[in-house]
Chains A and B, each alone.
Chain A
Amino acid sequence: MKYIPQAREDQKQLLDAIGFKNTEELFTHIPAQLRAKKLNYPPAQSEMELRETFKQISQLSTLPKLNFAGCGIYAHDIPSIVPFLQGRSEFATSYTPYQPEISQGTLQAIFEFQTLACQLTETELSNASMYDGATALAEGVLMGIRLKKKSSGKILLSGALHPFYEQTIRTYCEEFKDRIEKIDIEKDHIDLVKLEKILQSGADILVTQSPNIFGVIEDYSQIGEWIQKSETLWVTSTMEPISFGILRGPGAFGAHIVTAEGQSFGNAAYLGGSSFGIFTTRNEYLRQLPGRLVGETVDTKGRRSYTLTFATREQFIRREKATSNICTNNNLNMLAGLIHMATLGKQGLKELASQNLSLCEYLKNKIRTETKLSISNSPTFNEFVVETTKPASAIVEQAANEGWVCGVDLGRFNPAWKNKLLIHVSELHKPQDLDKVASFLKQNL
């Protein structure tokens, strides 16, 4: 077996050295009746066979000819240097950088990521990243609850959150479920009239998402004004971080905790995992920050160096009193995101965001002019809802039968949304692809 270098002769030498006759002696403290019987296990596959097995598995479905599904996971172009650099052994096969003297590569990369995350979200402090956007948001709510200490006020959830995000919050915050209250939607965004009232009457935490589950950009400038007048902590989520290339970060409007899904930067869809979550906040909340954090310092020779810091917040030291039980930052996914951001740079990010916006607006106009279907006038970035005249599920199925994906049927989350088809557009789409969507909708509705 090529992964086990211990040849029979090696094994004999090792056993002789420790004074054992055979390997069974290593396990004498396990009662015989509890030892595993013959495992029901398929024969070992060689590398050639594995390659064939996975080729066959990958062919169990055919990839869609065209894809307009977004809703939290977005297909974008991934520059070739991203997998090339991310795959380097020294990044991929190293452990968590607890020994800074021989882990400066990972540590400096995290430090650079923390910097970019703050710039994107317009905040002061970022951790090294989290599992994904949904868990980052749930951890954000938990952090908000810790910051509010003894208060037991309301935890307001926007009704326009991605339902999977909401469910993740409810899992993490089960202990506080009686405090959770959902704010209604007005058409396709948070009901601002109700929000203002409820903020005036007092709440501990407000959770919003923008662009939201309908692709709509919420009125953060208005919400920010009300937040500043209130005692409420504002926790935000963004599923499409490329939108930060053209939209202000929530920190600019006074959000206290800003979270985002990072997948769009450098990570393939992979069924929604693994990806990474962005988590940023204000400096003053450092002690309550969950997850890993890297800081700059010097070594004994005075050379600039990086190290994990403020570790006493974390589980391996604070144990049951830790700010979170998290002990990973999905580092390699974050690294892919960092490399993508570095290669995009200031101009590339702006151009990418502008192309996404332009292509999306092109399709919206096309559908508006060529079909009778309704699309709201609310502002969107790179995805939007088409109000379908028959269930969106049927439209999605029709496209699937033709071998492509025309969007996400929001009715899968909520029966009230059964006539909402969410369409995502990116730089990967050519104008003729967009024309196809419009003509398909025209034919089928």
Chain B
Amino acid sequence: MSLLEDTVGSVLSPEEATLFERSHPGRIGYSLPTLTVPRVEASKVLPKDQIRDAVLDFPEISENEVVRHFVRLSQKNYSIDTGFYPLGSCTMKYNPKINEEVAKIPGISNLHPLWPEKFLQPALSIQFQLGQLLSSVTGLAAFTFQPNAGAHGEYAGMKIMRAYHEAKKSKKTKVLIPDSAHGTNPATCAMVGYEIVPIPTGPSGVVEIEDIEKLIDQDVAGIMMTNPNTLGLYEKNIHKIAELIHKVDGIFYMDGANFNAIMGIVRPADLGVDIMHINVHKTFSTPHGGGGPGAGPVGVREDLKKFLPLPVVEKKGDGFIFNYDLPHTMGRMSGYFGNFSIHVRALAYMLSIGATEDSTYIQQMATAAVLNANYIRHRLRGHYDIPFDTTCMHEVVLSDKIQEDFGIKTLDIAKRLMDYGYHPMTVYFPLVVHGAMMIEPTESETKETLDQFCDVMIQIAKEAKSTPEILKTAPTRVFRERLDELRAQKQPRLRWSRA
């Protein structure tokens, strides 16, 4: 490679060497105080056969170089702060910066989980207040904060369902799950040891009462439903389904992944929901972080409180305590008390979207999110197939049916979006729609953004017809073109090593 290519590469091109290739013997990126006690020889105090001299291949890089490395890596990522992120079912809304600021207050960030409670009042107070606010928007009696993510919340919720039935010595074995559910739902059920009974999606995109009636019997431990569902539709029969489930002493579990659409509009408990997890990183604006940390607090109705994971936060006198005295608990979900750093951000958000003079910002948010999705649905009608073209909630699902005639698939449309500067929508999900494209605009976007996005989508639909080969080779204007994913598996290279 010529010097010119090499040096241009260092500023603007998408190439960035790995940490290991940047390493140079003897360079230092750390600073530690000089040791002021006698240095202890490892061999004097540690088992000789367990001592190691050094982690051999750890890189040696100066601080400036470490900074440049990670800044350059960051520049290869698309993010919400870069642009519109229409990922369906992911609720990629704006992540307020004040939330980050308050989470960094040392009196909050440095709390050690095993300190005496008198030192932990800020943390306990935050979890307690967050629980109260979540109760007010869901109608559920109490929340646990231990689950570290949405799927972890599902797991805790399903364990609570199991604990409820076991306490009654009932031997229920089955859980009903709509076929449009997120993959985590059946995966969680399987982990908890329930047999999964899929519910077909009805002709109008929602679960029909008759299908539930056909599937329900005394062996049904409960149902797991997402509302609005993954087609972006409100499950209009949900309250009647809850009644049917309760008739066989089943538990109604609601997956709160799509709660953003209905928060402040309906309270899940009023629909008959008994257990629900909340994806704090979706509805409550905490950053997705490129794949976590999230948080998945789980709410339950009054009589299920006793099964919550240990411990629960309670108010006592002027302060707060951890209550470990729950003889019927389902157990412990993780090392300590959940992703508290995320709870702080969620509380900041919830306090900022509260009541105004005539309503709450919460209701305005849900309304704006739903209106935006319907606007997109309206603008793309005719250009793309919309399998369930009725008033949708927070997201709209399209298919590639029209484009298939030109040999263009959903994947090609998604990849072409990148060339126009957008992150693709969620693709090939839900599975019940062939070639699904799921678009969720959230309340964070302006009308101009929605319009430009729709203009681009319409342009891509035209390209599918006129110049399909452009779509098939897209993207060509971003950091990378399509990857050889087969090679990644056939010649696996899952960590760096000298070539």
Closest-by-CB residue of B relative to A325 is B187
Residue of B32, B52, B446, B483 touching A355 (CB-CB under 8 A): B32
New contact pairs (9) apart from A6-B372, A72-B114, CB-CB < 8 Å: A41-B362, A47-B98, A58-B108, A120-B55, A131-B334, A167-B310, A273-B341, A296-B488, A431-B36
Task: A276 to B483: give the CA distance in the assembly, Å.
Answer: 28
Q: Does A152 contact B (CB under 8 A)?
A: no
Q: What mask results when residues 87 to 129 of chain B are scored 1 for a CB within 8 Å of chain A, else 0?
A: 1001011111010111011111111111110111111011000
Q: In the complex, how many angstroms separate the beta carbon of A388 from the nearest chain B beta carbon? A: 16
A47 proximity list for chain B (CB < 8 A): 98, 352
Of B215-223, B246-254, B353-361, B402-410, which binds chain A? Answer: B353-361
CA distance A108 to B354 in the complex (A): 40
Chain A 317-353 interface mask (CB, 8 Å, partner B; 1/0): 1111110111111111101000101111111111110
Bound form: Cα–Cα A54–B118 in Å: 18
B112 contact from A67, A125, A300, Cβ within 8 A:
A67
Closest B residue to A327 by CB, please name it. B151
B137 in contact with A39 (CB, 8 Å): yes
- A14 and B488 CA atoms in complex are apart in Å by 45
Tell me whether B154 is interfacial, beta carbon within 8 Å.
Answer: yes
Interface string of B53-97 (1 = CB under 8 A from A): 111111111010011011101111111111001010010111110
Q: How far is the CB of B373 from chain A (nearest CB, A)?
A: 9
> Which chain A residues numbered 268 to 327 have a C-beta less than 8 Å away from chain B?
268-276, 286, 292-301, 303-305, 307, 309-310, 314-322, 324-327
9 smallest A-B Cβ distances: which pairs?
A: A272-B336, A58-B107, A348-B30, A332-B289, A328-B292, A89-B81, A274-B293, A134-B335, A272-B113
Query: Which of A57, A91, A320 contacts B126 (CB under 8 A)?
Result: A57
Contact B485 A297 (CB under 8 A): yes
> From A404, which residue of chain B is reached at the shortest CB distance?
B119
**B353 and A3 contact, CB distance less than 8 A:** yes
Residue of A nearest to B330 (CB): A171
Candidate in B73, B93, B447 with the most chain A CB atoms within 10 angstroms? B73
Contact of A64 with B115 at beta-carbon distance under 8 Å, contacts A34-B271, A348-B32 already known = yes
Q: Is the CB of B73 within 8 A of A109?
A: yes
Which residues on B sit within 8 Å (CB–CB) of A81? 63, 66-67
Q: By the criterion CB–CB under 8 Å, are A43 and B354 in contact?
A: yes
A126 within 8 A of B: yes
- Complex: A13 Cα to B451 Cα, angstroms: 12
Q: Cβ of A350 and Cβ of B54 under 8 Å apart?
A: yes
A112 touching B77 by the CB < 8 A rule?
no
Q: Is B270 an interface residue (CB 8 A)?
A: yes
In the complex, whether A165 has a CB less than 8 A from a CB of chain B is yes
* Chain B residues whose CB sits within 8 angstroms of the CB of A414 once the complex forms: none
Contact at B483–A299, with CB atoms within 8 Å? yes
Contacts A63-B110, A69-B112; is A116 near B18 (CB within 8 Å)? Answer: no
Given A11-B371, A333-B293, is A271 in contact with B288 using a C-beta cutoff of 8 Å?
A: no
- Interchain CA distance A193-B18 in the complex, whole Å: 46
Cβ of B207 within 8 Å of any chain A Cβ, yes or no, is no
Complex partner residue of A112 from B18, B98, B266, CB under 8 angstroms:
B18
Q: Establish whether residues B29 and A348, one from each chain, have CB atoms under 8 Å apart when the complex forms.
A: yes
CA distance in complex: A301, B484 (Å): 10
Known contacts A102-B479, A319-B183, A342-B29: A171-B159 contact under CB 8 Å: yes
A348-B28 contact in complex given A125-B494, A168-B334, C-beta closer than 8 Å: yes
Q: Are B479 and A101 in contact (CB under 8 A)?
A: yes
Question: Is the beta-carbon distance between A99 and B423 smaller than 8 angstroms?
Answer: yes
The listed residue with most A CB atoms (<10 A of its CB), out of B27, B30, B109, B122, is B30
Distance from A402 Cβ to chain B, minimum over Cβ atoms (Å) = 12
In chain B, positions 198-234 with a C-beta closer than 8 Å to chain A are: 234
Contacts of A405 in B (CB 8 A): 112, 115-116, 119
Q: Is the Cβ of B32 less than 8 Å from the Cβ of A61?
A: no
CB pair B481–A300 under 8 Å, yes or no, is yes
Report the Cα distance A26→B234, complex, angstroms.
11
Q: B178 near A: Cβ within 8 Å?
A: no
Stretch at the interface among B41-49, B300-308, B458-466: B41-49
